[in-house]
Amino acid sequence: MSNRYKKMRPYRTKSKNLNALQKKRLVEVRFRQLLVFILLLVVGVCFLSFYKMVFLPRIVLEGDRVVEVEYLGKYKEPGYLSSYQGENITSKVKVSGDVNTNKIGEYPIVYQVKCDGKVSTKTRIVKVVDRKKPKISFVNDSKKLYICPNTKYLFDDYYASDNYDGDLTNVVKVKEEDSRMRYEVSDSSGNKTIKYRDVLYKDVEGPTLTLDGPLNVMLVQGDSFSDSTYQVDDNCSGDDVKVSISGDVDTSKVGEYERIYKAKDKYGNVTKVVQKVVVMEPSKQGVIYLTFDDGPRAGTTDIILNVLKEKGVKATFFVTNSGPDDLIKRAYDEGHSIGLHTASHDYSVVYQSVDSYFNDLKQVSDRVEKITGEKSWLIRFPGGSSNTISKKYSPGIMSTLTKEVLNRGYRYYDWNIDSRDAEGGKYSADEIASFVTSHLSHDRVNMVLMHDIKVNTKDAIGKIIDYGISNGYRFEAITPYTDMVIQRVNN
């Protein structure tokens, strides 16, 4: 034991040997010392505050010193005030610091003011936080989960996403609990989402059945017909699917037929695909089809109808959304065919996209069906299927549309004789009639393009009809079974 330790030990021993009175006095002394220390500390703090208030500029922050802002939200400055010796110097405060609400984190905003060489600074903390829970979505039923009998859950029909973390599908925890499937996912901010689905081991989904051929088949009377090949699959049965085909097709008779393909899996689920087969009339040589575009128009269409009625001739009108309804109704009631020429006839609209074309076509289709009570499947493209102006708005659109209209059950008709009546009134009625009659042929179908909105056209009709009848031609209206006259697609 060292001498130093020996010298200190009697002191400690003496302290431990204090009597009760001495201990009490010692506590009182230490308590008074503590009070003096606290008093000095309070005085010091008060003095410092007083000094800052009197001798330094003062900054007061409005709102909280710590502010929370939602991720992708907007930080709005709560405000601040500054004074010095009774004078408002708020305008002198300089605020620094940026808040990036695109990223979670803490961002200090520093407020500093200088006056008479004295500087004061305060800081506010802005926390960008994410309080939004992630989402769990399901491809199929969100309340019930159907699993193929005698199989296991494949974990492939859900996905999770978060407004901040993005795709969280890979971190979803899935567990089956008491005939329920539990899905849990948390984002990086600790926001948690839990969803449940009832589990049923049952096949409720029909097979997939896809025909290798089109759903609308167009044949000419006398053509041969054979069933389409098909592809079939099933989520639970695999290749164990039975396919049956029903429905008669008689290509010797003009008309519409249905061929029905049914696929049935081993659990009794059935998928049906209907293929429409249209048997068209063969091309009628020596027949004249007078077709009129762009109408109706009062003052011309009605006169054309008068001439057709007088001559006992039927024609086809490809109408738009212009003109009076009663002229369409009259043409229909008098046995003429009503076709569709789009509602607007505006190239920039109808040829902007495939969807735009069919949206425009639907408008005029609805109009015709409302007026006549019958849906029309006859169409003529503005400018014909061979037009090239459509390329300006959508390259290749005519190649797509000419196939898609057939897939949807329509028939489109171009022309092989142009009356040239649409060339700005350039030609007289006699010249228009001559253009038509000089190109007629008994060796083919004669599909004549005219426009019932043109004044000279109404005066040319009688001459064309008289020539046709006197030279052994027949006049007919286009029907849904008339063989199509089509041009070469150039876009």
Whether residue 273 is found in the same domain as residue 300: no
Q: Would you state the pLDDT for residue 80? A: 96
Whether residue 350 is found in the same domain as residue 422: yes
- Output the average pLDDT for the chain: 91
386 occurs within a structural domain:
yes
Q: What is the pLDDT of residues 426-464, one digit of tens each?
A: 899 999 999 999 999 999 999 999 999 999 999 999 999
Whether residue 119 is found in the same domain as residue 158: no
Q: What is the pLDDT of residues 261-317, one digit of tens each?
A: 999 999 999 999 999 999 999 989 999 999 999 999 999 999 999 999 999 999 999
Whether residue 345 is found in the same domain as residue 258: no
Specify the CATH number for the domain of residue 100. 2.60.40.10
Q: Which amino acid is at 414?
A: D
Number of domains forming the structure of the chain: 4
Whether the predicted model's global pTM rises above the 0.75 cut = no
Residue located via tokens 């002191």? 11
Q: Would you state the pLDDT for residue 342? A: 97
Whether residue 273 is found in the same domain as residue 295: no
Using the predicted structure, report yes or no on whether residue 2 has a pLDDT greater than 50. Answer: no
pLDDT band at 129 (very low <50, low <70, confident <90, very high): very high
Q: Which of 250, 280, 310 is the last residue of a domain?
A: 280
Using the predicted structure, report yes or no on whether residue 370 has a pLDDT greater than 60. Answer: yes
Give the range of the structural domain holding residue 85, as residue numbers without chain letter: 58-129
Q: Please tell me the distance from the alpha carbon of residue 38 to that of residue 406, in angstroms, as a whole number.
A: 96
Whether residue 450 is found in the same domain as residue 325: yes
For the chain, how far is it from start to end, CA to CA, in angstroms?
110
Whether residue 300 is found in the same domain as residue 434: yes
Whether residue 341 is found in the same domain as residue 467: yes
Using the predicted structure, report yes or no on whether residue 361 has a pLDDT greater than 60. Answer: yes
pLDDT band at 6 (very low <50, low <70, confident <90, very high): very low
Q: Would you state the pLDDT for residue 102? A: 95
Q: Which of 280, 300, 322 is the last residue of a domain?
A: 280
388 occurs within a structural domain:
yes
Q: Which of 280, 307, 325 is the last residue of a domain?
A: 280
Q: Work out the average pLDDT over 382-400.
A: 97
pLDDT band at 11 (very low <50, low <70, confident <90, very high): very low
Q: Would you state the pLDDT for residue 50? A: 58
Whether residue 124 is found in the same domain as residue 268: no
Q: What is the pLDDT of residues 102-124, one digit of tens each?
A: 999 999 999 999 998 899 999 99
Q: Please tell me the distance from the alpha carbon of residue 352 to that of residue 113, in angstroms, as a whole number.
A: 61
Q: Would you state the pLDDT for residue 30? A: 80
